[in-house]
Amino acid sequence: MSRSAHPAGPRHADVLPEGHYTAPPADLNSLDPRVWAQTVERTPEGAVAVGGLDVRRLAEEFGTPAYVMDETDFRARCRAWRDAFGSDADVYYAGKAFLSRAVVRWLHEEGLNLDVCSGGELATALDAGMPAERIALHGNNKSDEEIERAVEAGVGRIVLDSFQEIARVAHTAARLGRRQPVQIRVTVGVEAHTHEFIATAHEDQKFGLALAGGGSSSEAGEGPAAEAVRRVLMLDSLELTGIHSHIGSQIFDMAGFEVSARRVVGLLTRIRDEHGVELPEIDLGGGLGIAYTPEDDPREPHEIAKALGDIVTRECEAAGLAVPRLSVEPGRAIAGPTAFTLYEVGTLKELEGLRTYVSVDGGMSDNIRTALYDAEYSVALVSRASAAEPMLSRVVGKHCESGDIVVRDAFLPADLAPGDLLAVPATGAYCRSMASNYNHALRPPVVAVRDGQARTIVRRETEEDLLRLDVG
């Protein structure tokens, strides 16, 4: 591999009129533990290892690009969430972040429940042995087939998202001779401080039933959600176990959860007063943030558990309600930090006075989030250490698309060369789940590493896979 120096781009952030970059780090070889999985370290030889395995060996054995998952880190995060909430609460891993049969087995072994939102996710969960009673099914437009499979399997809850779905789930459960536990998803008029396209709790959206009527969120219980409760309570084939809400994604501030809990408790109070029923559970959803860059400052699970527990207890005591069981649904907060994407550097192009474009062998087909959400990521040279000056860089993919950006602004060593390996951390959530075959790219494998052993848990796609589906 050549180590000849590549012409460096600008050294200082103030040469560009716009961008998300900050000043160069003091040490380009450092690995900030806030964004890297717990067993990732730089070896004395200068390369990076995960779970005791050198990334150069992983690249040789499994190829690039590849998602490399630290199984030790994943399991530790599962335990941290489970222990933080304790036996009086339920933690449901949000499978949409990343799901595979291996992940389902890890969740089962570490004592977490599982939230799924499609027939495919449900099939994966059941096939991998997750007990059906520990599965929740979400979705704003569940098919008849998905509903029937969930009821027949005996899932622990179906989260109802519309009036039509109430009738469809009730009919299916009655036909199968079941009494299906359900929750009602409500929109509480709270929008978390996140990107517009991933905020999901404001009322003008496709999810859930509004607490308020007439477009106002000030009077909890006056809208469609209260009517949904009335309908469910009239149906013998449905058992209403609680109310579900979700206020957004990549959330660091607990203030939104406080407002959400207050409004949900308002609905619980009305249910008690009008129907004589105190529901046993409240689910505040997920959306807890992670560190994609060193500037991000997420809370630890025990801090989140205490904050949410205090909020729900305070609101229920003020309303004179028994404190219900609390459920949460972390997905990104568990899977996200546990993996990085390993790439090989190809072409480098210096734009004098601007930056250097560093092209890698993946791109928007394995990480659409930068293009879709303007998401920010970190990146590091991992196949060796470097003492070269920092070079303002943009890491881009190989796709025929100008928006094919992996890391918009980063500082990399000025001696970066074709054949070097880069790693982008915090890609365990949504990257493989949202991966595509754009330009007929082959989706990368997911490689799990633990205690010096590596194995493929989701294999790399092949050209034969693509052609097998093309029946024309």
Check if the beta carbon of residue 220 is closer than 8 Å to that of residue 267: yes
Tokens for 54, please give them: 């050198």
Amino acid at 44: P
Is 400 considered catalytic here? yes
Q: Which two tokens stand for residue 38?
A: 């717990």
Coil/strand/helix, residue 155: coil
Alpha-carbon separation of residue 256 from 199, 202, 325 (angstroms): 12, 11, 20
Total residues found in the chain within this entry: 472
Beta pairing partners, 89: 326
- The DSSP bridge pattern shows strands 355-360 and 238-244 to be unpaired
- 207-211: list long-range contacts, CB under 8 Å, 24+ apart: 207/140, 207/161, 207/246, 208/140, 208/161, 208/244, 208/245, 208/246, 209/161, 209/162, 209/163, 209/184, 209/185, 210/186, 211/186, 211/187, 211/263, 211/264, 211/266, 211/267
Among the listed residues 457, 455, 452, 458, the one whose alpha carbon sits nearest the alpha carbon of residue 49: 452
Exposed/middle/buried for 466, CB within 10 Å: 0-12, 13-18, 19+?
middle
Query: Pairing mode, if any, of strands 405-413 and 325-328?
Result: unpaired
Q: Look at residues 369, 365, 427, 420 and name the one whose alpha carbon lies nearest to residue 393.
A: 420
- 78, 316, 400, 431: the catalytic one is 400
Closest by CA position to 319, among listed 276, 273, 260: 273
Q: Which amino acid is at 407?
A: V
Partner residues linked to 392 by β-bridges:
411
Q: What are the CA-CA distances from residue 136 to residues 130, 156, 284, 303 (Å)?
A: 11, 6, 14, 25
Distance between CA 75 and CA 55 in Å, rounded? 21
Q: For residues 143 and 123, is the Cβ–Cβ distance under 8 A?
A: no
Helix axes 255-275, 224-233, angle to 10 degrees: 50
Active site residues: 400
